[in-house]
Structures are given as structure tokens and as C-alpha cells.
Structure 1
């Protein structure tokens, strides 16, 4: 059991494993929910815990029996409803790290690098200390980090509740640097509009492109529209062409045209071509950048191509064989060679000699249902898309099809529909477990 006076630093707590009383792992801490009050120190009321299935749930601190940077022990009662931040709540890691506060002695300002919460006699966890770095006047960006660091009491700072002005995000991103794009997208989705844009802006183009592809459309549009135009065009170039086309299709035509004009011509060409197809057709679903090689290519070289880090597992499952030119639209489509088949054959053999020519490519205007049926019939992860002259235009992967078959808000839907927040909950409903 945690004793009165136990002090835990929030940034160090992030990533800590949560266990139930029997020692079984429940999940990992991703954030701490605090109530920032006009008077008095902020009070921590719960943890945001990521449980299996990438779901982030709320664990009230009333259900935590022990907490330190190495482990958190809970009572074992966890509400599996997806965490949704309320207007009066603040996320310590996501929103307070990197926030600027004023030093009460008038000596200047400082940025928050960590917060300490301590257990009080009444059982509340209260923010008592801040680990801050003084802001050096006249310095910006990374140079600001050179200021002196110190541990100060809450009474020694002012302006914690002030969120005006642009806030950095480097400490937040340092906490989440190992997250997969889909998991980081969940983090961004849970943030407020302003903080979401601040964090997105701090990501490099490649990372932001990967994260955008995993966000709901509303979030994608809001972030892209919040970026400087040149930066927005760079991020679109880093996205998969089909995802970039889907996102541009959600923008007003004038804005989409302006962004296309700022993109590199070769990148914009593929996106423009995809925008010409109807959404629920093979052309609207496909990517223009599968692995396409000539029939004379040795198997060893083909295997090197499918090792590319930027390929999804579905697109890495096969190589598409065509006559030159090998950029879409290619010369005449020949067939595909499956990854498993390449692994069974001598590496010096050409892929043309082991091509599977029995798989019928699908035409570019084929409807979604036809695409889905063909993928299921032949147990494929990707399907070639051709024009009337049998030139390869791209490939539809199973993940693209799933994105269109699932409801538009599938990323936001919960498996559990009950609603609870211990200590802050609404009136109880029948069958809902209370904290």
C-alpha cells in the first residue's frame, strides 16, 4: 500500500505496467488525469491506462493500492469504456509537460519538465512539486533547454492554468517515441483541438504522415488545415498516394488544388489520377506504389524490394510483374509472384519463371463488392488493378478494403457502452459497476 507522503513523478510513471492484486498485467500507464483549480494545488484523480486492444481506459486513483515508477497495483476492477477527456480535466503528460509558468519571485519564467504527485492524509493525490527549466531570455527552440533546472513547490509558480500561446511538445513526444503510428494517433485523437495541432506540428513529416493515415477524417482535415501550406504539401507527399487522395477529397476544391500545386509534380501526378476515380471502386481504393518489377528480375533482388520498411505487410506479400515501363501505368501486366514462393526457389532464378498468371486482375472501375469478393475467393492480401489495355495501374490491399467496409467512425467505437468515472461519475445505471 502507498503510504502518506509517497511521491511519484508523472513523466517517469508513463509507461509503467499496471498489475491486478494477483500479479497479472492489466496494461500500461499513458497519462495522469489532474484537476487544475484556480486556488490550491492540482489534484490527480486517475490514470489513463492502455489495455490490450490499444484501448485507453480510465483507472481512478481510488482503485490504486500502490504506485511507484516501477509498478502500479490496482484493485483489479477496471472499467473498459474508452477514456474520453472531460472539459474540466487536464492530462499531465499530454498538456502540462512543456507548459510555461511564471516564477512567483519575479525572476522569470520556466517550462515544466515533470510533476510530482504526493499522497495526502485524506487519500487524495495532489501535485506538490514541479521540476522546471528556466527559460533563458532571447533563446528559442532547443537552446531554451540550456536553462537551469530546479524542483519548486506549487506555491513558487503561477500561471499553471494558463494555456495561452503556443506550447512545445518535445517532452510529450519523447514519452511516446516508441509508439506505433496507430497508437500515437489514438493519443492525438484524445487531445484537445489546440494541443493536437501543437503536437502534430512538432512531428517530422514522415512520422506525421504515418499518424495522419491512422486518424479519423475530421482529425486529418483539422490538422492539415492547421499546418502552413508548404508544410501541408510536404506531409501529403510523404503519405501513401491513396491516403493523400482520400484526405484531399475531404477538403474544399480550391484548397485541394492549391496543395496539389505545391506538391512535387511526380507525387502530385499519382494523387491527381487517384482523385479521378470514384471512392468505392478499385481505382479509388488502390495504391499506385506496389512493388512492380520486370520478369527478368532475380528472386534475390525481388526479396530485397519487399524488405522495404515503408511497405505494409499486405503489399509486401507479393511482387507484381509487368513489361516496361515499370511505373504505373506500366506496360502489359504479366502476373504476380508470392513471397512464399520466392522463399522456396533458388535466389538466382528470375521471378518471371515462377509467376502466377492465374490470378485475374480487376479492372479500375470495378465496385468495392467485386474487389472484396475476389480477395476472399483467392485468399489474397492484395489484388492487381488494370485498365482496358491490361496495363497495371496499382494494387488494392486488404487493409484498404477494410477501411471502406467498416463504419466511418470505427476508430472511435467502444466495445463497452457503459459510462463511469469514479468520484466524478454520472448517476449510476443498472448493471454498471461503480467506483
Structure 2
């Protein structure tokens, strides 16, 4: 449908299809964000109803949009409830039927499909306006350029618009862009991001820059952001804070989360304990292959953590009961759904103690080709795991992100000139 106008009202009546073409929901609305100066608003995603929930489907996950429906690139779908964010506009709910000038209302939005060979996006191109006259039964219509009614898609502030535009980019790319901004603009952008998104971006920045970025946030907002961070990244950040500020944050956090972070802070930075994360997929030996596969399907798990199930005795939250071993995802795919994990545990899989130095951890990864390695205390309890991405970060050294300044500038020039 490239080059042709696609009308939003028509899209909002289409089914949502999985990669095989089976219907899994209905499209209800389209989410757009304003473009940069002179650029048209673009569609960042679709609101759909699926399994009695209103969910958000990122535009980057759409393989095809045609008369048959909106088809996904894959079979998996994120069922987290849709929540509108600052800077976003819902075409159906907020734009269609809005009054424009005197006597005209928006009746539809014309989108155009753009592709660069690798990705496809949809931009607002035209707006159809309807007007009624006292002497006519039917309304008359006219099609105008989006620029004539640009205010329909405007965000409340420039930074809200920027936060919305960056929302579907990888956090690492957003971090590169953030670092090109003056500190005042960085903080304005941070205030415009939701907690989860800001946490993702913080995790991609060096700790000293994280501290500067969150400096202007009040305690309640700061706690909301920090609680969205991965535990190991959060511990690294808190470790760089002044003692009084760190104590105030730990006091304000949820008791269970504060306990986890305090335990991580007790380990030296250059040890396995200082690198590990306690957020793992942990099940008991009596759990089944089907239950394990259901657990690792959760979209929040990183690939390195979701590659294996840690099997322990109860309790199943670090520090756990006795660590029994791991079951790798490949084994799960080969066994019947009802088989218990006790029969799938891999043999001769190494573990490390929390106090061994990071060099020894690197050698274990190199020797056994692991994606994550268990950290076990003297009593045999599972404390957490070191993942391969943590190892890569540590091996590159604390200054590796700073060495991307040239790349940051290049990204900033592209963004600024787009």
C-alpha cells in the first residue's frame, strides 16, 4: 500500500493478526507523536483489544498493513495494558471529530506508508475535514495537508514531544542522544519520560552521568524510577551516591527491594557478588517443562537470563534453598511438557562464589561458554547469577561508554538535522 493514502478510520476496524495470519485481536486506535520541525507526525503504534485487554502494539512489530488486517512479524504479543503517555496523541479518541476553525470537524486522517527497505513506518499526510451547511443534508468534505492543522498533533511541551519521538528507539541509542544535550535539556527530557523509560536510559549511561540526570527529580519520582531499574544497575548507581542520599533512598524504598539492594551493596565491586543480579527464573525440582517454558516467555527477561532455569529447593527467592542446578532452554524444547525439571538438570555446570574476583568469573565464562553463571554461597544457596552482558560491560571497563562520544556526536547531528 506504499504511496497510497491509508485512512485511519479504516485501520481502526481491522483485525490484529499474528505472523501466521490468525486473528488475535481488533485494532481500536492509532498512536502518533509529533515530528521534528517541518516533519509530519508519525505512527508509533496501535491500540488493540486482545483477550479482553487494551494493549499497545509497537509499529516496529508490524510486518504488513492491508485490507485483511494488521499483521505482526512474530507470534508473541505483549499483553501489558495500554497506558497513554505524555506527547502521544490517539487519533480516534483525540483527533477525529475535533473542531477545526469555524464549522469544520476532522472526519478522518490520511496516512502514508514509508519504507527504507528494512523498516516500514506510517506518517500523517492528509486530514479530511467535514463541514455541514443548513441547506444541505449531507456534509461536504475537503482534504488538507497536515501542516494546516498541525496543532491537532502538538505536544504540550517540546520535551514531551522529544520523549515521545524517542520512545520506540533502543535505550542505548536514546542514551547516545541524551548525552549530546546540554544538562538542562537532559533534565527536562528526564522529567518528560515515564519511570520505566527513564530507568532503561539510565542503565545505558555511566554512573556519574546518571547522577547528573536525576539530580532535579523529587524523592517520590526518583524512587519510582529507581524501582524500575535492574537490581545490579541500581546497586551500582546507589554505590556512587553520597551516603546520606543513599540512606534516604533505601529508607523510602519498598522493604523487600531495599533488602535486596543492601545485600548487593555489601559485595566488593570487582567480585562475582558485585556483578550479579538476583532477578532470575527460579523453579523447584517438581515444576514441569511446561511451567518453565511459560516462565521464560515473559518479555521482561533478557535473553541471557531466559536461556536457563535455575532449579533450587524452597524458598525460590534469593537467597534460595539449596541450589540443585540449571536446565537449559534447548533441553526444555526437547522434552514433553509434563516432565519434571529434576530429570532435566544439566551435569557439570559450574557455579561461582560471591567473593571471587571478576577475572576468575571471566575465565569460567570462557571455559564453559555460558550465558549466565550461578553465584552460590558456602551453604549452597543461590544468591544470583552473573550474565554475559554484565561480563562484557566489566571487561570493556568503566570508561567504554565515554569512548562513544564521537558516535554520540554523529547521532546528535543526524537527529538534529532530521
CA contact (8 A) 1:382 1:395 kept: yes
CA contact (8 A) 2:354 2:377 kept: yes
Aligned mate of 1:390, from 380, 384, 388: 380
CA contact (8 A) 1:11 1:175 kept: no
Aligned mate of 1:399, from 389, 395, 405: 389
CA contact (8 A) 2:190 2:214 kept: no
Q: Does 1:411 align with 2:401?
A: yes
Partner of 2:252: 262
CA contact (8 A) 2:288 2:338 kept: yes
CA contact (8 A) 2:309 2:326 kept: yes
Q: Does 1:277 align with 2:297?
A: no
Aligned mate of 1:10, from 33, 37, 40: 37
Q: Does 1:320 align with 2:310?
A: yes
For residues 371-412 of structure 1, the C-alpha deviation after alignment (integer angstroms, 9 at most, x for no partner) is 111111110000000111010000000111111111322123
- Partner-residue secondary structure (3-state), 2:244: helix
Query: Structure 1: how far apart are the matches of 2:278 and 2:385?
Result: 7
- Shift, 1:355, TM fit: 0.3
Partner of 2:291: 301
Aligned mate of 1:228, from 218, 229, 232: 218
- Shift, 1:173, TM fit: 2.0
CA contact (8 A) 1:298 1:349 kept: yes
CA contact (8 A) 1:332 1:390 kept: yes
- Shift, 1:317, TM fit: 0.7
CA contact (8 A) 2:167 2:197 kept: no
For residues 14-34 of structure 1, the C-alpha deviation after alignment (integer angstroms, 9 at most, x for no partner) is 99xxxxxxxxxxxxxxxxxxx
For residues 79-114 of structure 1, the C-alpha deviation after alignment (integer angstroms, 9 at most, x for no partner) is xxxxxxxxxxxxxxxxxxxxxxxxxxxxxxxxxxxx
Correspondence 1:327-342 to 2 at 5 A: 327-342=317-332
CA contact (8 A) 2:275 2:390 kept: yes
Query: Structure 2: how far apart are the matches of 1:367 and 1:14?
Result: 51
Partner of 1:291: 281
- Partner-residue secondary structure (3-state), 2:309: strand
Would you say how many aligned residue pairs link Structure 1 and Structure 2? 278
Partner of 2:186: 196
TM-score normalised by L of structure 1 = 0.59
CA 1:13–1:270 in structure 2 vs 1: closer, same or farther (change >3 Å)?
A: same
Query: Structure 2: how far apart are the matches of 1:415 and 1:174?
Result: 24
Q: CA RMSD in A?
A: 3.1
5+ long unaligned stretches in structure 2: 1-34, 43-112, 117-146, 411-418
Query: Structure 1: how far apart are the matches of 2:341 and 2:406?
Result: 49
For residues 97-135 of structure 1, the C-alpha deviation after alignment (integer angstroms, 9 at most, x for no partner) is xxxxxxxxxxxxxxxxxxx9xxxxxxxxxxxx99668x9
- Shift, 1:10, TM fit: 3.1
Which protein is richer in helix relative to its size? Answer: 2
Query: Structure 2: how far apart are the matches of 1:304 and 1:13?
Result: 41
Q: Does 1:187 align with 2:177?
A: yes
CA contact (8 A) 1:332 1:391 kept: yes
5+ long unaligned stretches in structure 1: 1-7, 16-68, 73-115, 117-128, 136-141, 146-166, 421-435
Query: Structure 2: how far apart are the matches of 1:295 and 1:71?
Result: 49
CA contact (8 A) 1:233 1:260 kept: no
Partner of 1:350: 340
CA 1:12–1:70 in structure 2 vs 1: closer, same or farther (change >3 Å)?
A: farther
- Partner-residue secondary structure (3-state), 2:375: strand
TM-score normalised by L of structure 2 = 0.61
CA 1:168–1:265 in structure 2 vs 1: closer, same or farther (change >3 Å)?
A: farther
- Partner-residue secondary structure (3-state), 1:314: helix
- Shift, 1:172, TM fit: 1.0
- Shift, 1:191, TM fit: 1.2
- Shift, 1:414, TM fit: 4.6
Query: Structure 2: how far apart are the matches of 1:285 and 1:414?
Result: 23
Partner of 1:26: none
CA 1:345–1:193 in structure 2 vs 1: closer, same or farther (change >3 Å)?
A: same
